[in-house]
Structure 1
Amino acid sequence: VFYTQGGEHKLEVRKRGYKTYYKHFEVSPGDSIQVEVPIVNEEVPMSEEIRKILEEIEEEKRDEGQ
């Protein structure tokens, strides 16, 4: 449960590695609403740029260990 002023709002649900969901809603002062946001295990693929950075970090760790 959360309280907000009247007006237009955006609710954002995020979990690292998963798709971000948004719900837009508009309320007047004193309104009560119920918002349902699905949480789906829909993994977001790692970008090639991030993959390369992680590989470089692992390579640096191996080099330091030698």
Structure 2
Amino acid sequence: MAPTGKGGAAKKVRRKEKKNVAHGHAHIKSTFNNTIVSITDPTGAVISWASAGQVGFKGSRKSTPFAAQL
């Protein structure tokens, strides 16, 4: 009979590290369909990113300047 899985190994939970970056770069990619904003540290590693679709805009409203502000 197969085990039910109740006594399995516990999963490790990774927490996000809080990074204090004094200087960085904002990369903005604006296409006809969407706008993506990425914040990077000086070496180019992405710290955070957001897109208009991720914020909740759908369809043609994703490519508007208002959606890029959020």
Give the structure with the higher percent helix.
Answer: 1
User: Between Structure 1 and Structure 2, whose CA radius of gyration is higher?
Assistant: 1
Length-normalised TM-score, structure 2: 0.30
Give the structure with the higher percent strand.
Answer: 2
Length-normalised TM-score, structure 1: 0.31
Larger RCO (CA under 8 A, 6+ residues apart): 1
